[in-house]
Structure 1
Amino acid sequence: MLSDLLGHPDTSGAIAVRTGLPQSQVSGDVARPKDAGSIVTEPDPAYARRQLIRRTPDVSEQVSEIRASRIDDALATALGTDDPERLREAAEALDVLARHLTPETVGRLRPWYGGGAGW
């Protein structure tokens, strides 16, 4: 959801259409970064019942902490090892995925996984 928001500033419920996620999930996904101060919502002046969603211009303290943290500890826990070579390989694989899995590419998966959560 956040990557969709980055590609479509001042968006609204169209996130659900573009990502194939149920509107209820998008609403929940919006609430968490809003609570963390990463995004803001405001009424759409063209349609008061709709909320516009945008990134905040300033990075919240929580987001700064997350960005400053290293993934090594989380990977070591997930992989059950602190072997530097395995951690490097896993981090490189995640970098490749992050470069290639955009909202558009994930949207192509919708027929494959049924468009719902839990795939």
Structure 2
Amino acid sequence: MNGVELFLLGRTLTKIGEAAMPEPEGGTSRYGGSVRTVLIVASDLTTHPDSAVGEIATRTGLPQSAVSTAVARLKETGAVVTAPDPADRRRLLVRQAPHLSGRVAEVRASSIDDALTAALGEDADPERLKEIHAALEVLARHLTPHTPARARN
């Protein structure tokens, strides 16, 4: 596998992941770029709690306005909490909420089975699904947001 193939695999996996997530209540559209931004911010916060919006923007490469919008969305769903920075009361620090909100629990409990089956189409036999699940478990074990930074840089 080369870098291009890995990139394309990542895009395919992203699309399957988006298809697997449950629609938000009252949602009128499928997950788009804004949800990807929310997920990038949420992922960053797993390894960098108590971060200011500007710090998140610097680490993720996202525009500060997009990070601010994502933080507002995450706060609205109960996924994160904010508090004034004790060193600079003008800044807000963001961290994951201490308890899972209903929406976060719903998203984390969603299964990839239907989305993976749809992505495989005619090739979605039970053995192939089992093999792909196992491969994804291995990747998740080694390449999650908790993977040491040296592996992600």
Q: Specify if TM > 0.5.
A: yes
How many pairs does the alignment contain? 107
Once the two structures are overlaid, the 10-residue window that deviates more, 62-71 or 90-99, is 90-99
**1:15 aligned onto 2:76:** no
Q: Structure 1 residue 45: deviation in Å? A: 2.9
Q: Which runs of 4+ in 1 moved over 6 A?
A: none
Partner of 2:31: none
* Correspondences of 1:55-74 after superposition (within 5 Å): 55-74=96-115
Picking from 45, 63, 70, the partner of 2:86 is 45
**1:87 aligned onto 2:138:** no
CA-atom RMSD in angstroms: 2.5
Taking CA–CA contacts closer than 8 Å with sequence separation of 6 or more, which of the two structures ends up with the larger relative contact order?
Answer: 1
1:87-113 CA distance string (max 9 Å, x none): 33443444344332548455x3xxxxx
1:52-104 CA distance string (max 9 Å, x none): 10111111111222222221122223333542233334434443443325484
Identity %: 55
**1:24 aligned onto 2:65:** yes
- Structure 1 residues 72 and 21, CA, compared in 2 at 3 Å: closer, same or farther? same
SS in 1 for 2:51: coil
Q: TM-score, normalised by structure 2?
A: 0.56
1:18-74 CA distance string (max 9 Å, x none): 222222222233233222111112222322332110111111111222222221122
- Structure 1 residues 36 and 78, CA, compared in 2 at 3 Å: closer, same or farther? farther
1: CA distance between counterparts of 2:128 and 2:65?
37
Gaps of 5+ in 2: 1-40
Partner of 2:11: none
2: CA distance between counterparts of 1:20 and 1:49?
23
Gaps of 5+ in 1: 109-119
Partner of 2:143: 100
